[in-house]
Amino acid sequence: MHLGAMQDWSLRVTRFIDHAAREHGSREIVSRWADGTESRTTWAGIRHDAMRMAQKLAKLGIKPGDRVATLAMNHHRHLVTWYGAVGVGGVLHTINPRLFDDQLDYIANHAEDRVMLFDAVFAPIIERMKPRWKTIEHYICFDSSGPAEHFEDWIATEDGQGEWADGDERDPCMLCYTSGTTGNPKGVLYEHRSTVLHAMIGMTPPLFSVDCRTVMLPIVPMFHAASWGLPWAGAAAGAKFVYSAVNDPAVLAELMEREAVTTSAGVPTVWLGLLQHFDTAGKDIPESLKTVVCGGSAMPRAMIERLMRSGIRVSHAWGMTETSPIGTSSAETWNWDDLSFDEQVSIKAMQGRAPFGVELRCVDLGDYSKVLPRDGKTSGALQVRGPWVVKRYFKAEADATDADQWFDTGDVAVIHPDGTLQLTDRTKDVIKSGGEWISSVELENAAVGFPGVAEAAAIGVYHPRWDERPLLVVVKKPGAEVCQDALREHLAGHVAKWWLPDAVVFVDEIPHTGTGKISKKDLRDQFRDWKWSA
Ligand code: AMP
């Protein structure tokens, strides 16, 4: 017996662009190019061009499931490509141009990319990699000055009057590789359905809080973790987008002010640069800016405080490529207005709570079968599950762990009784001293709160008595003097005494990975032969 039914309306990401063009067709998309020029289009324009691109890809024989790669910064032609690639039923593969050649080689060959669309600034990478990329048949350049057919000419032969490829909502739509600190990079294959559900949560107030009045400046690159889902969520909301193809703080600041940007999203390093720019230029953060979403690594407390004092709502988010990437966000609690400013900052400095669709748990670092209490004290390996969390990496064989459904994040965390997640380390970075865990992240957070410290990294170095002891590596701000004893005294106010680093080393630069995170692996190599003074 049938009790009635709802309609068949598959959750495909092309629904976003159809909706944006239909309901918010005139809302603007601005692109600021590397040469200082600008172009303006609309959601209706993006849809028209994406359809032309899908028609073109179909003529080239691109079939559902085929991978279409990009090597590009943030601009509207890249956005067109997102929708054009999925529009033909293909899988959009955004590649991080900052990766090393061997990784670029591995990724494009492993993905079996068939088309590559790139910015002219990355032409040297293309020239270098072309002989090594075996499966790429077509190279298209987003700029007219590049060494391949120009994107606009390429799609100009089509009329934009076609239909999107149809398919199942569980079909793949996007492929992102993780930076992979060890071994080869791993591909995470997002599905239409997972991407739609993720974007719908991304629109809500605890995350990007985006609607048709939002003017969004996404600083997070379109090649990093699906740009946090913004190209999808922004279309669903009909937000105005302001893109910059360069990450220069002066350019970003100018765009923010001129376009009255309300919302921006980026990693802490970018915000550090922007805040420094406002300071040196003697300017205030533009008044229009109301929401800042920051994640990818921990937001320093001083930065949160500074933004909140300027009346900005901070959303400190945790996630990873494997979680599409939304995992948690430091949303306001129900009793927010009763809290002191300091208490509010403390909440924002943690990674926040899970939205609907994400489940979290911590398990014992020594025995993963033991689930730990949410007591705000016991730290363990963080695991996550939900409809937009990876089940199996791209091309990985199905195995027994598939049934388990809990994904191991590689992060170490405590969960507070109210569900707030607090990251304390990476499983590989946590320092083990005399059998007890020391959080390198907490040491670093405390260190960057000290005046004159620009960046800090704590690593465990072999110690004959304690097995490992923390060594703090510090980069000073330009022209600043930092006294080691005063720094240790400052740290003593924030962490247990036995956590205090046994030595502080000042360096000119801390090594970073291709995605801009501190490379603890390189640091550990650098200080492998470190000798503690007796
Ligand atoms: P990726 O997949 O490159 O985005 O890296 C994901 C990893 O970045 C996570 O597993 C965390 O270790 C780290 N991460 C992301 N967001 C945060 C955050 N808000 N605080 C601390 N670490 C973070």
Ligand 1 close to Cβ of residue 444 (< 6 A) = no
d(CA 56, CA 155): 6
Given this model, what pLDDT does residue 407 score? Answer: 95
Residue 430 has a pLDDT of 85
For residue 322, indicate whether it is catalytic: yes
C-alpha–C-alpha distance, residues 274 and 264, integer Å: 12
Domains detected in the chain: 9-21+37-191+227-232 (3.40.50.12780), 359-426 (2.30.38.10), 431-526 (3.30.300.30)
Neighbours of 466 (CB within 10 A): 19
- Answer yes or no: 409 catalytic: no
- Span 35-55, average pLDDT: 97
> 252: closest CA among 279, 222, 275, 228?
275
**What are the phi and psi torsion angles at 468 (to 5°)?**
-140, 145
What's the pTM value of the predicted model, to 2 decimals?
0.88
The finding on whether 298 has its CB within 6 A of some atom of ligand 1 is yes
Report, as an integer, the average pLDDT of 62-78: 98
Taking the C-alpha atoms of residue 464 and residue 467, their distance in angstroms, rounded to an integer, is 6
pLDDT at 53: 98
At residue 401, does pLDDT exceed 90?
no
Query: What is the enclosing helix (H) or strand (E) of 521?
Result: helix 520-526
Alpha-carbon span 500 to 285, nearest angstrom: 36
Is 85 a residue whose pLDDT tops 90?
Answer: yes
Composition of the chain by helix, strand, coil, percent to 5: 30, 25, 45
Ligand 1, atom 7, residue with closest C-alpha: 320
Q: Which of 94, 220, 411, 513 to mutate to test the pocket of ligand 1 (most atoms within 8 A of CB)?
A: 411
Per-residue confidence (pLDDT) for residue 298, from 0 to 100 = 85
* Mean pLDDT in residue range 366-385: 95
Mean pLDDT of 108-132: 98
Please, which pLDDT band fits residue 403 given cuts at 50, 70 and 90?
A: confident
CA of 8 to the centre of ligand 1 (A): 37
Over pLDDT 70: what percentage of the chain? Answer: 99
How far apart are the C-alpha atoms of 347 and 345, rounded to whole Å? 5
Copy the structure tokens of residue 323: 């979680």
* Interstrand relation of 187-191 and 407-415 (parallel, antiparallel or unpaired): unpaired
In contact, 408 and 203? CB cutoff 8 Å: no
From ligand 1's centre to the CA of 138, what distance in Å?
A: 34
Catalytic residue among 28, 152, 178, 254: 178
Q: Which atom of ligand 1 lies at the shortest distance from residue 316's CA?
A: 19
Indicate whether residue 513 lines ligand 1 (CB < 6 A): no
Contact 491, 483 (CB under 8 A): no
Q: Which of 341, 258, 352, 353 is nearest to 307 (CA)?
A: 341
How many whole angstroms from 325 Cα to the centroid of ligand 1? 9
In this prediction, residues 129-149 reach a mean pLDDT of: 96
Q: How far apart are CA 113 and CA 115, in angstroms?
A: 6
Give CA–CA dist 135/403, Å, rounded: 33
Least confident of 249-253, 293-297, 328-332: 293-297
Sign of CA pseudo-dihedral 80, 84, 86, 87: positive
pLDDT attached to residue 182: 57
pLDDT at 183 over 80: no
Whether residue 181 has pLDDT greater than 60? no
Mean pLDDT of the chain: 94
Contacts of 465 (CB under 8 A, 6+ apart): 434
Return d(Cα 224, Cα 231) in angstroms, integer: 12
Tell me which residue of 473, 420, 444 sits closest to 298, measured CA to CA: 444
| Comparison of pLDDT for 403 and 126, the residue scoring more | 126
Which comes out higher in pLDDT, residue 435 or 12?
A: 12
8 A C-beta contact, residue 229 and residue 199 = yes
The whole-number pLDDT of residue 435 equals 75
Distance CA 36, CA 147 (A): 20
354 CA distance to ligand 1 middle (Å):
15
Both tokens of residue 298?
A: 């921990």
Burial-class residue 159 by CB neighbours within 10 Å (0-12, 13-18, 19+): exposed
Decide if 401 is catalytic: no
